[in-house]
């Protein structure tokens, strides 16, 4: 038996009446909401704005130029959003950079791209958990516990366990609640900004307050190194908009809506971040004492530091302070969840094609989540978080800058992948040249340059909060050790896995573009699932040999519509697993979701099973 297929993406999204490509459960507005919520604006600003302000600039700091850094960081994010848009048109995919880089540059580039996503997510989980833990206590006015490293760590670990459990069982609240949570978050940020600016202009702010100036938005009087290091921290604030692309299975037009949503999300984030950064800098000032944003005690959490002063001691002020705490807490929790989910998807995709142990490709038969990958993500995050906390709180503070290196690495790789992926189409039209080639290339070059320059800056012994002494190298900044060390660890693991299981690296398990890929159909019971904000339903990759297809479910070739399942003995059988599935999905595979064949290659799941055994 063989299936004639060619142009299908790995992990092509599930087909379901309520959320499939044909039904169009998510429109542009809903996709934009997901993109915005996944960046966790309140948490991102609370955790990062102080570090942007305090970035060293010669004998001074970035200071009042922080809003200009928000503008500067927007540029590569917008360019890479275009790269995501273009690549998503060709391959709506759950592996994103892992798959796109593997298609464009080969298995090793894809492996490192996937590792970049995983490493970034594990590192950032430590900071997310710390914020969530401390804000949990602050919400209930347990300030001593919130200030305690031990108790905040315990609460953070519990928070990771809770979010991992939620991701494992796939529980999600309604879309309306998701809109409400994001709406409250944005309203509070705007209220915070307006109140702060009102007090500044009426003279009711702090003695350190400053009157906003247009020059704050112009990135001048900063060295290249300063702009790069501060921009990479700000890039973290924008990080997460790509969730709008990863939930393409739920959109009304998977070729256009996710990409448009990603671009619109970055534009809206730009407006929000510039407004909040201007208001915060103006109200608190950039001094190193009291409420100043350069005060090390405030850098890690600016809202908790200055929120009470902005809203005041009135009853209404206390309400807004509570809402601000809730906004940051829910923002951090949503970001924790949306950090676990895409990482589990990436690990699922890598496991399905034997880029990592195939056990990571296991799918829970009831919850239809990447069960092993999700548990491992939670467990590794806890171990990393506790280890960083035990080493030093300063190392935990350096984690934000280190994440910037990871983001620059895999976002930049995505930009270059778009150029190479479409290299034969760049001369077709001016639009193809600009959108598929020039703009993604500029984004990739920007992030590559930022990565190189920032690595040099981060390696300086006096950069960041920690300095380590390494053999041969000598003294080196802790941020560089954390960031570059994570990438080097990935390279070592890739070499080890190449020795243990070389099939992926020889292209025996990941088919070249043009070979048939299989996707899992979501059962009818899944349609009634209720989930947490932004979680979506993970795109389920089915290994070529169907080894990770749960019993009773059906895999389908996205280019031909032919269905397969495994019987009780584990043998591969053509057709739907149940009559109900055939009735539900039989007429859904149409020209609207099938790619045009571009070759004569075939795919035989039974043959794949024999070959890989």
pLDDT score, position 176: 53
pLDDT tens digits, one per residue of 419-430:
998 998 999 999
Q: What angle do CA 369, 131, 192 make, to 5 degrees?
A: 110
pLDDT score, position 435: 92
Average pLDDT of 525-552? 50
pLDDT score, position 88: 75
DSSP annotation of 531 reads B
pLDDT score, position 554: 76
Kindly write down the DSSP assignment for every residue of 475-519, as one continuous string.
Answer: EEEHHHHHHHHHHHHHHHHHHHHHHH-TTGGGTSSSPPBTB--EE
C-alpha to C-alpha distance for 512 and 515, rounded to whole angstroms: 6
Average pLDDT of 554-564? 68
Q: How many residues does the chain have?
A: 613
Average pLDDT of 11-40? 50
With cut-offs at 50, 70 and 90, classify the pLDDT of residue 432. Answer: very high
pLDDT score, position 540: 56
Residue 162 within a domain: yes
Average pLDDT of 432-440? 94
Residue 420 within a domain: yes
Torsion of CA 395, 397, 402, 408, to 10 degrees: 180
With cut-offs at 50, 70 and 90, classify the pLDDT of residue 257. Answer: low
Highest-confidence segment of 387-391, 448-452, 510-514: 448-452
Backbone angles phi, psi at 11, to 5 degrees: 65, 30
Residue scoring higher pLDDT (32 or 327)? 327
Q: For residue 569, with 0-12 CB atoms within 10 Å meaning exposed, 13-18 middle and 19 or more buried, which class applies?
A: exposed
Residue 535 within a domain: no
Whether residue 575 is predicted with pLDDT greater than 90 in this model: the reply is no
Average pLDDT of 170-179? 52
Residue 184 within a domain: yes
Poorest-pLDDT segment among 294-308, 403-417, 511-525 = 511-525
pLDDT score, position 552: 73
pLDDT score, position 210: 94
CATH classification at residue 315: 1.20.1740.10
Poorest-pLDDT segment among 5-14, 111-120, 445-454 = 5-14
pLDDT tens digits, one per residue of 80-111:
988 987 887 777 666 788 988 988 898 999 99
Beta bridge partners of 572: 566
pLDDT score, position 400: 76
Are the beta carbons of 170 and 537 closer than 8 angstroms? yes
Q: How many domains does the chain have?
A: 1
In the chain, the percentage of residues whose pLDDT exceeds 70 is 75
Element (H, E) at 272: helix 257-284
pLDDT score, position 146: 85
With cut-offs at 50, 70 and 90, classify the pLDDT of residue 31. Answer: low
Mean pLDDT of the chain: 77
With cut-offs at 50, 70 and 90, classify the pLDDT of residue 192. Answer: very high
In the chain, the percentage of residues whose pLDDT exceeds 90 is 25
Residue 455 within a domain: yes
pLDDT score, position 260: 72
pLDDT score, position 58: 75
Residue scoring higher pLDDT (367 or 19)? 367
Average pLDDT of 248-271? 66
pLDDT score, position 279: 95
Residue 532 within a domain: no
Whether residue 558 is predicted with pLDDT greater than 50 in this model: the reply is yes
Whether residue 189 is predicted with pLDDT greater than 70 in this model: the reply is yes
pLDDT score, position 577: 74
Lookup: tokens for 139: 């919400």
Residue scoring higher pLDDT (542 or 451)? 451
CA nearest to 375, candidates 346, 340, 349: 340
Poorest-pLDDT segment among 22-31, 232-241, 350-359, 370-379 = 22-31
With cut-offs at 50, 70 and 90, classify the pLDDT of residue 175. Answer: very low
pLDDT score, position 522: 52
**Parent domain of 214:** 25-481
Gyration radius (Cα) of the chain, Å: 24
Residue scoring higher pLDDT (27 or 435)? 435
Cβ neighbours of 372 (radius 10 Å): 22
pLDDT score, position 349: 83
Average pLDDT of 412-420? 95
Lookup: tokens for 185: 């978050």
Poorest-pLDDT segment among 122-131, 276-285, 500-509, 522-531 = 522-531
C-alpha to C-alpha distance for 122 and 133, rounded to whole angstroms: 17
Are the beta carbons of 531 and 21 closer than 8 angstroms? no
């Amino acid at each position: 038996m063989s299936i004639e297929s060619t142009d299908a993406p790995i992990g092509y999204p599930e087909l379901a009446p309520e959320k499939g490509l044909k039904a169009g459960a998510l429109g542009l507005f809903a996709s934009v909401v997901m993109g915005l919520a996944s960046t966790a604006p309140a948490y991102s600003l609370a955790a990062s704005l102080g570090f942007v302000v305090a970035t060293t600039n010669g004998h001074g700091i970035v200071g009042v130029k922080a809003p200009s850094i928000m503008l500067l960081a927007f540029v590569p994010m917008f360019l890479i959003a275009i790269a995501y848009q273009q690549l998503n048109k060709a391959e709506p995919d759950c592996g994103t950079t892992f798959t796109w880089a593997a298609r464009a540059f080969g298995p090793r580039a894809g492996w490192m791209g996937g590792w970049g996503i995983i490493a970034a997510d594990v590192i950032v989980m430590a900071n997310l958990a710390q914020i969530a833990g401390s804000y949990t206590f602050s919400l209930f006015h347990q300030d001593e516990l919130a200030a305690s490293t031990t108790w905040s760590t315990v609460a953070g670990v519990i928070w990771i366990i809770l979010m991992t459990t939620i991701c494992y069982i796939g529980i999600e609240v309604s879309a309306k609640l998701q809109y409400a949570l994001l709406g409250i978050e944005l309203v509070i940020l705007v209220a915070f900004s307006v109140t702060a600016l009102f007090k500044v202009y009426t003279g009711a702010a702090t003695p350190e307050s400053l009157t906003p100036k247009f020059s704050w938005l112009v990135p001048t009087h900063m060295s290249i190194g300063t702009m790069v290091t501060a921009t990479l921290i700000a890039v973290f604030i924008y990080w997460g908009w790509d969730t709008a692309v990863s939930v393409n299975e739920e959109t009304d037009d998977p070729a256009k809506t996710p990409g448009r949503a990603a671009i619109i999300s970055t534009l809206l984030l730009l407006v929000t971040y510039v407004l909040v950064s201007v208001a915060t800098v103006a109200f608190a000032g950039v001094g190193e004492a009291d409420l100043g944003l350069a005060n090390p005690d405030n850098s890690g959490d600016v809202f908790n530091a200055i929120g009470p002063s902005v809203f005041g001691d009135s009853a209404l002020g206390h309400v807004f302070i509570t809402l601000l705490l809730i906004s940051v807490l829910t923002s951090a929790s949503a970001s924790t969840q949306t950090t676990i989910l895409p990482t589990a998807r990436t690990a699922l995709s890598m496991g399905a094609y034997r880029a990592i142990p195939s056990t990571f490709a296991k799918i829970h038969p009831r919850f239809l989540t990447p069960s092993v990958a999700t548990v491992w993500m939670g467990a590794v995050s806890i171990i990393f978080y506790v280890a960083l906390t035990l080493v030093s709180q300063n190392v935990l503070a350096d984690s934000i800058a280190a994440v910037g290196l990871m983001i620059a690495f895999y976002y930049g790789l995505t930009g270059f992948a778009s150029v190479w992926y479409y290299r034969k189409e760049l001369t077709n039209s001016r639009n193809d040249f600009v959108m598929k080639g020039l703009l993604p290339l500029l984004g990739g070059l920007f992030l590559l340059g930022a990565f190189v320059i920032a690595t040099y800056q981060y390696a300086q012994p006096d950069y960041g909060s920690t300095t380590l002494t390494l053999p041969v190298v000598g003294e080196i900044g802790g941020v560089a050790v954390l960031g570059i060390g994570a990438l080097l660890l990935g390279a070592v693991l890739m070499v080890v896995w190449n020795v243990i299981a070389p099939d992926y690296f020889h292209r025996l398990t990941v088919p070249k573009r043009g070979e048939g890929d299989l996707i899992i159909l979501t059962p009818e019971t899944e349609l009634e699932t209720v989930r947490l904000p932004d979680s979506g339903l993970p795109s389920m990759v089915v290994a070529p040999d169907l080894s990770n297809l749960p019993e009773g479910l059906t895999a389908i070739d996205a280019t031909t519509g032919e269905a397969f399942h495994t019987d009780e003995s584990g043998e591969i059988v053509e057709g739907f697993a149940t009559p109900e599935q055939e009735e539900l999905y039989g007429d859904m595979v149409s020209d609207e979701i099938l790619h045009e064949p571009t070759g004569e290659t075939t795919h035989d799941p039974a043959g794949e099973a024999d070959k890989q055994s």
